[in-house]
Structure 1
Amino acid sequence: MTRSVLFRLACASVLGGALAAFIAHPADASARLKETVLVSGRVVTLGDLFDDAGDLAAKPVFRAPDPGVAGALSARDALAAAAAAGLADTDADGLTTITVERRSQTVDASMLADVVTEALALRLGARQSDLDVAFDVTPQTMAVAADGYEAPRLQGLSYQPSSGRFSGEILINAGAHERTLPVTGVVAEMVEVAVLGHSVNRGDIVNRSDLETTRMDRRRVARDAISSTDRIIGLAARRTLRAGDALTSSDFEEPKLVARNSLVTVNYNKPGLTLSARGRALADGARGDLVSVLNEQSRRVIHGIVTGPGEIEIAAEPITTAANETAIAAKDAVQ
């Protein structure tokens, strides 16, 4: 068989197939049933169920499922409903069952909490992001009709500042369906505070790794609570502190570089003269503190400034008579 004959046979086969398809599905083909139907309103129309439903597309034939619900519909029932509505020329396209679902808007507890915090932020002059809401009864998640949906709004708000309790009604509007939901609960204005990740003892020096930040109800936090951990890194605890408690500035002090009854080095410096001696501290002292030191040999008591761990310095040029006497005594003490 020659190449030209093969080409003519192939063309004939393609044209034959196209003609068969045209005969099976002419230009004015039947309205075809859809496998998946998504509706917005309360009814299902022929146009929802069938492609090419023509002038009858807007004709309702079924009640739509509830918002957010998907249901099964047999193809036989769909075709029968179409025929009863005047659309006789239909094609199930091999389907036996189709799915019909109604569009919805989900309304959950988080969304309703935002409605409450938005209203309370305006009333309290606070940032909405700083307000936390706890409902007495957590609202159930609901699916409402998407058609005509409006954002929920709070009405009849009542608020007690001392306890943080609130009450009101949230109006949920979804077109023809309107629902009022009573809500009660507690709102807290949250602040960020520094806390310890573990307990520390009195005198322990706090490092960055010991600290973290968390959010707490402002009503439970002291006015001098610390929000930045940088302020207390390197300081010492004045008392035993528990993990998770809000920290305040009064909880910390400069680390004690000199301990009471500990041996210290007393330094007296002036140009051309440096004297040092050992003594016993009569009090605790942090850097910059004035402490008394006993020279155990001479039994003299002198006063100096803490300059480092176990280090006391006597001023070289005292500016007061009392300080001058201290300096003279210091020279006597260290000699």
Structure 2
Amino acid sequence: MRNHITRHFSRLLSGLTIAFTIGLTGPAAATDKDTISAPVMLRSQVSVDNDQIRLGDVFLNVDKYAERTIARAPGPGKSITLKASWLWRVANFYSLDWRPTSKLDTATVTRSSIEIDSEQMVSQIRAEIEDKYRGEGPFEIDLDRNLLSIQLPTNVEPGIRVRNLNIDQRSGRFSATVVAPAQGNILASIPLSGSIYEIIEVAVPARRLMRNEIITARDLQVIRVRKSDILRHAVTDADHLIGMAAKRVLISGNAVTLDDIQEPILVQRNTRVTVELQTDFMQLTAQGKAMQSGARGEIIQVRNLTSGKTIEAVVTGANLVTVAMPTQSAMR
């Protein structure tokens, strides 16, 4: 009987011990599981704003060595790619639980920057030229080559300045150097050169004008062009075009030269004209037939309808001519 009670008590004690042990270890195990750190992961795209790449920039869930520098960052606005084999060596060095699964496990690191584009540079150059160029009016500039943008670090004040500006007033050529930033140490320098072009206003046909058509104010428009693009004998002033006749077909938008226009034809060939003869003592008129067309001031041949003789006369009005060298025989 005593042995039976002893065995029963032993079993009861063992059960209580197991239960007590489970009660103690169960919550502890759950607590340990909750504190397990997240797995280390690679960032495939990384952006940095200074000249250093840190361990925590490239790998996620790195606590102990996150601020350790592992490489030098690229220049502002540029990128580098860290290969899988290099990243694995870094992970091993810092005892990180990470390894690449393939060569495609890379990290591309891009340096943040402040961009100064070519338009900003051209605007600054133009402002500097305006202070030194002695042109007659507005102008535009052409650079000899396209400008690349300047990338500045994010920790500097953005801005540029122009240095060593030289202008040849006769040829319109210039050279200069653009440096950035505007204040402090120079981080970028770009030499450049180009040409200055004066801009002028030119009256040109607003539509196609046919030969002998009289030019009116409605037929013209004013455009702005480079002075160097205009032909030497071009007529730029609208007042000098209005009332003139097109000597040939005039194209819309093209500058008109002196060779393209003439005084309007006042006398047409084979038309009847009035011939005037003036002397110091008298003025005579007769009827004639124009053998040629002519504008004001031009000398044409006219046949006297009465005598049949052909004479030379100066066109002085619409269907009106005056004998160039008046003689009595000319009017017979």
TM-score (norm 1): 0.54
Map of 1:167 onto structure 2: 175
Question: Which of 249, 267, 272 lines up with 1:258 in the alignment?
Answer: 267
Map 1:1-335 → 2, pairs under 5 A: 28-54=37-63, 57-75=66-84, 77-78=86-87, 80-81=89-90, 84=93, 91=98, 96-104=105-113, 112-124=121-133, 130-135=139-144, 138=145, 141=148, 144-147=151-154, 148=156, 150-173=158-181, 178-191=187-200, 193=202, 215-217=225-227, 225-226=235-236, 235-237=244-246, 246-247=255-256, 252-259=261-268, 262-264=270-272, 279-281=288-290, 284-285=294-295, 296-297=305-306, 305-306=317-318, 312=319
Deviations, residues 288-333 of structure 1 (Å, cap 9, x unaligned): x9x9987613789999842xxxxx489xxxxxxxxxxxxxxxxxx9
Number of paired residues?
267
Larger radius of gyration: 2
After superposition, the C-alpha distances for 1:171-222 in whole angstroms (9 at most, x for unaligned) are: 133987623333333222233546689xx99857789999996732359666
Distance 1:254 1:302, change over 3 A: closer
The separation in 2 between residues aligned to 1:295 and 1:151, in whole angstroms, is: 83
Q: Which runs of 5+ in 2 are unaligned?
A: 1-31, 275-285, 322-330
Q: Secondary structure at the match of 1:150?
A: coil
Instruction: Provide the alpha-carbon RMSD of the alignment.
Output: 5.6
How far apart are 1:63 and its partner, in Å? 0.8
Task: State the 1:49 CA deviation.
Answer: 1.5
Alpha-carbon shift at residue 154 of structure 1 (Å): 0.8
| Cα distance in 1 for residues equivalent to 2:320 and 2:237 | 36
Shift in Å, 1:96:
2.3
Give the percent of matched residue pairs that are identical in Structure 1 and Structure 2: 24
Deviations 1:88-134 (A, max 9, x none): 55656967222222345666766544432232134348899841223
Cα distance, 1:154–1:38 mapped onto 2, change above 3 Å: same
- What amino acid is the match of 2:190? L
Residues 165 and 174, structure 2, Cα contact 8 Å, conserved in 1: yes
The structure-2 alpha-carbon separation of the partners of 1:192 and 1:212, relative to structure 1 and needing over 3 Å to count, comes to closer
Aligned amino acid, residue 156 of structure 1: N
Change in Cα spacing, 1:189 to 1:104, as seen in structure 2 (3 Å) is: farther
Pick closer, same or farther for the CA change 1:237–1:25 going to 2, 3 Å: farther
